[in-house]
Structure 1
Amino acid sequence: MIVKLGYVAMSMELQNASPSQTMTFAQFSRIKDREAGIRKLERIAISNIENCLRLLKHNAGNQIHFFRLSSRLIPLANHEELADWDYIQPLKESLKKVGEYLNAHPMRIDFHPDHFVVLNTPNKEILSNALKTLVMHRKLLLGMGIDTEHRCVLHAGGGYEDKEKALEQFIHNWGYIQPAIQKMIMLENDDTTFTVKETLYLCEKLGVPMVFDYHHHLANHEEENWQEDWERIINTWKHSPLVVKTHISSPRSENEYRAHADYVDPDMFLNFLTGIKGTIPEIHCMIEAKQKDAALFKLMEDLQGRTGIKILDGSSFEVI
């Protein structure tokens, strides 16, 4: 089984390469000339996208084939006071450059929109804002020439004191979501509310791939055994053009079990891989550790010389 590692949004090694520079609405409001304020927002967004390109070059140089883009590339993109701003138009050239680079250096790219993107909300306004955010992600993907299918990981949402009802609300709301947005979505089990089985229920019902998060499962499993459901998880990917994806991270401490540690515990990771060995030919694992790419490099280092591990390149190995 081939394992490819990825990391999230920012590099600990590249200086001054943040893809998430921002401006608050309060700062924007202080700019007397609204047009000048919008131009400033556009300059920040272009700088963020240029930094994405720097990150992609850093990845290619280090043989990293899997990367999560920041969801904060365009500050105030969906703010109600800026509803008339066509934010994609001024970014077209920058996005095209990213697309051309990805064409020449193929990499799996996806997004994890922020936690306020909740699709099972009973509140129409919250749902409308969530959909606006997903539309923005779709525009970014299209601008970069990336196939939009299964590129946005979401949690199932809030429990609203009745999880069964909350799951049915998700299915109800799904009917209002345009197919182009539905097509982008993957769902992940979370660390406080929806377990593997509950997330699988939605994924199977709606034909959505499930991203298994091992750390979240350990924090929130209601006595479930994830291995019993692994075949079902794999099955949710059978119609996807992409390889099965999981999230990996380690608890910061026993007391702060849900928080992500700086690095990934290699033994915990290998314990998971041993449990799935032989079930699929390839898996992509997104590292959600505080030290970002440094955590990926350290994990690859920690796996050197381990029995049953054959290193393939800077971010990939084979479990044999």
Structure 2
Amino acid sequence: MKIGYPCVNEAMDCSAANTFRLASYSEERVVAAVTANLACLRRMLEWNVAQGLLFFRMGSGIVPFGSHEINTFPWQTHFAAEFQAIGDYIKANDLRVSFHPDQFVVLNSPSPDIVRRSIQELVYQGSMLDLMGLNGTAKLQIHVGGLYGERELAISRFAQVHATLPEAVKVRLVVENDDRLFPLRDCLHLHELTGVPILFDNFHHECLNHGESMHEALKLAAGTWHPTADGVPMMDYSSQALGERKGKHTDDLVEERFREFLTHLHGLEFDMMLEIKNKEASALRAVAILRELGLSAPAPIMPIPPLNLPRDPNAPTKTQRTRKEPALKSK
């Protein structure tokens, strides 16, 4: 079992999501941002490997406006060697990586324009995994989408769009059960129609389900993954923040709840992404618990790279939040 956290190392002094305003687009800015983003991504991966955190969700903003029509710069060829080097590092250290395209990716939208731009975003993010030379076990994680008043029609529309996707996207796509619209049962129906694997979210299942026990739900979701083409099933883990609205994730790992969740696995293997606010801090505690229980390899004997390096005067300022292109969010 591999433990990971998404996109940002909160304690590190760099960001892999440096960007700029659309109005100030230039090829020079693209080159500067991608150079900094790939360098920081490599640093994060090296730090994770030294800590035994072998699952990482990369942020989608590595290439600013990567799926936007304005970006005509041939970044795929310009940075081919850098992407390949990161992919080689991932494979050499048995890392698992993924992307989780943002909420504007809605394949079952009634709007052809939103569907078109959603596919463009999936192609962009999948192409980065292709450039890294990674196989289909590196995934693109999305939700079913909107309900639009008709559940069956919404699911069938997803299936129809899925059939038109490039094969390079299809082999990477996984669908996550959500906490408001499409629970596990709907995702299983979608799997029957398309073959898309289900990335199980335990917290979403607690919020919205049809009475399946946690172990039953885990087993059903795991059964949608092909052992070689898809690899070990992935899942998201979190828990309810006490005293907050239903569905709000905790800011920190609640160890007793995490230990209780592990009892539902009963021999099932998952690579687990922690969707918890303090990211790497909780991931370190989770992997320590797994090692204690014999569910993860011992800590590696290797130097841990520093979280902070001397300031490079030419480096971009750390970006705390990736700027999203407004046009892509419109529905």
Q: TM-score, normalized by length of structure 1?
A: 0.86
Equivalence for 1:312? 297
2:107 is the alignment partner of 1:127: no
Q: 1:6 aligns with which of 4, 7, 10?
A: 4
Equivalence for 1:295? 282
- Output the CA distance in 2 between the equivalents of 1:158 and 1:301: 38
Determine which structure has greater relative contact order: mean sequence separation of CA pairs < 8 Å that are 6+ residues apart, divided by chain length.
2
Q: 1:237 aligns with which of 225, 229, 233?
A: 225
CA offset at residue 73 of structure 1? 0.6
CA offset at residue 301 of structure 1? 4.6
Equivalence for 1:19? 16
Q: Could you say if the C-alpha distance between residues 106 and 301 of structure 1 is closer, same or farther in structure 2, counting changes exceeding 3 Å?
A: closer
- Output the CA distance in 2 between the equivalents of 1:19 and 1:45: 8
Matched residue of 1:212: which SS? strand
**Map of 1:271-286 to 2, 5 A cutoff?**
271-278=260-267, 280=268, 282-286=269-273
- Output the CA distance in 2 between the equivalents of 1:303 and 1:210: 23
Equivalence for 1:200? 188
Cα deviation digits, residues 256-295 of structure 1 (max 9, x gap) = 33222222222222332212213x3x32111111111111
2:41 is the alignment partner of 1:52: yes
Is the contact made by 2:291 and 2:298 (CA closer than 8 Å) also made in structure 1? Answer: no
Equivalence for 1:32? none
- Output the CA distance in 1 between the equivalents of 2:265 and 2:221: 11
CA offset at residue 155 of structure 1? 0.7
The alignment's C-alpha RMSD in Å is 2.2
- Output the CA distance in 1 between the equivalents of 2:213 and 2:237: 17
Comparing 231-240 with 122-131, greater Cα deviation is found at: 231-240
Equivalence for 1:72? 61
Equivalence for 1:161? 149
- Output the CA distance in 2 between the equivalents of 1:150 and 1:201: 23
Matched residue of 2:142: which SS? strand
- Output the CA distance in 1 between the equivalents of 2:80 and 2:35: 9
- Output the CA distance in 1 between the equivalents of 2:207 and 2:295: 30
Matched residue of 2:2: which SS? strand
Letter in 2 for 1:26: A
Q: Could you say if the C-alpha distance between residues 226 and 166 of structure 1 is closer, same or farther in structure 2, counting changes exceeding 3 Å?
A: farther
2:92 is the alignment partner of 1:92: no
**Map of 1:253-264 to 2, 5 A cutoff?**
253-264=242-253
- Output the CA distance in 2 between the equivalents of 1:299 and 1:251: 17
- Output the CA distance in 2 between the equivalents of 1:71 and 1:287: 18
CA offset at residue 58 of structure 1? 0.4
Q: TM-score, normalized by length of structure 2?
A: 0.83
Equivalence for 2:32? 43
Is the contact made by 1:212 and 1:245 (CA closer than 8 Å) also made in structure 2? Answer: yes
Identity %: 27
- Output the CA distance in 2 between the equivalents of 1:132 and 1:310: 39
Cα deviation digits, residues 107-163 of structure 1 (max 9, x gap) = 111111111111111211111111111111122112111114451111111111222
Is the contact made by 1:262 and 1:295 (CA closer than 8 Å) also made in structure 2? Answer: no
Letter in 2 for 1:25: L
Structure 1 spans left out of the alignment, 5+ residues: 29-36, 316-320
Matched residue of 1:20: which SS? coil
Comparing 257-266 with 218-227, greater Cα deviation is found at: 218-227
CA offset at residue 299 of structure 1? 2.8
Equivalence for 1:110? 98
Equivalence for 2:326? none
